[in-house]
Amino acid sequence: MLIHPQFDPIAVSLGPLQVHWYGLTYLVAFTLFYLLAVRRAASAHFAARGWNRPMVEDLLFFGVLGVVLGGRLGYVLFYKPGHYLSHPAEILAVWQGGMAFHGGLLGVIAAMALYARRQRRHFFEVADLVAPCVPVGLAAGRIGNFINGELWGRAADPSLPWAMVFPQSGTDVARHPSQLYQFGLEGLLLFALLWWYARVPRPQGAVAGLFLLGYGLFRFIAEYFREPDNFLGLLALNMSMGQWLCVPMIVLGALFWGMAKKDAFRS
């Protein structure tokens, strides 16, 4: 049975300035997105549609705003609405933690819609360029969760070779390192799947639909190994909040992928 290494959450201290590992993982995520999106924009399919590096840079700016604002507001609305209704000043206290992927996704969707409108492009053209570039950023974020020793897993059989005790949980229970499961599933595996699928031109909307479907399925599975938030526990049908939020992603992803195969989103 392993013990979480108890990393110092502060990566670098320069006088009063402290740089946290979690902040660095966000920087890594945005950098990887930029590099991959530039490569996507330079491919024959997107280059023929006029995509270039400056457009990717503008898109990244919109995306960063969507991730940060959407992720924070999603956490506030989906997970602790009562608390933040009583303490509205804490909504802006992002340094205290509290970001939700599903809120970040909605923020990014809104950012892509605004960008597509400004550029007079079809929303799914933008979404198809973005989708394969996202999972590596998600993987970086899960490494940040692991370094912080947060979002730990449910109790595991102590004989499991990689079962791990997270002292931050306040117990000596052996747990699944669910952050690493999510790193592998919704990060590396989803990236490999989407990058392979998007290697050739697909019907508009198909890549974005597969992202929603794939992430929803992988996150739904990972939630069976992740400890539910203690202030929520398991909800109806013994499903976590994360799983319930994945259900519409799976349904919409399958719907969009099927519609795209019928050229429903052709420009």
Read off the pLDDT of residues 188-210 as tens digits, 9 standing for 90 and up. 999 999 999 999 999 999 999 99
pLDDT tens-place string over residues 220-245: 999 999 999 887 889 999 999 999 99
Q: How confident is the model at residue 83 (pLDDT cuts 50, 70, 90)?
A: confident
pTM here is 0.91
More confident residue, 14 or 126: 126
Q: What local confidence, expressed as pLDDT, does residue 17 receive?
A: 86
pLDDT at 102: 80
Provide φ and ψ at 71, rounded to 5°.
Answer: -60, -40
Q: What is the mean pLDDT of the chain?
A: 92
**14-56 pLDDT per residue, tens:** 888 888 888 899 899 999 999 999 999 999 999 999 999 999 9
- Percentage of the chain beyond pLDDT 70 is 97
* 72 belongs to an annotated ligand binding site: no
Domain range summary for the chain, segments of one domain joined by +: 2-261
Strands 164-165 vs 2-3: parallel, antiparallel or unpaired? parallel
* DSSP codes, the chain: -EE-----SEEEEETTEEEEHHHHHHHHHHHHHHHHHHHHHHSHHHHTTT--HHHHHHHHHHHHHHHHHHHHHHHHHHT-HHHHHH-GGGGG-GGG----HHHHHHHHHHHHHHHHHHHT--HHHHHHHHGGGSHHHHHHHHHHHHHHT-S-B-B--TTSTT-EE-GGGTS--EE--HHHHHIIIIIIIHHHHHHHHTTS---TTHHHHHHHHHHHHHHHHHTTTBPPPTTT---GGG--HHHHHHHHHHHHHHHHHHHHHTTTT--
Residue 97 has pLDDT above 70, yes or no: no
Q: Are 83 and 77 in contact (CB under 8 A)?
A: no
Torsion angle of the four alpha carbons 164, 166, 169, 171, in this order, in degrees rounded to the nearest 10: 70
Residue 96: band (very low, low, confident or very high) from pLDDT cuts 50, 70, 90:
low
pLDDT at 139 over 70: yes
Least-confidence region, from 114-128, 172-186, 227-241: 227-241
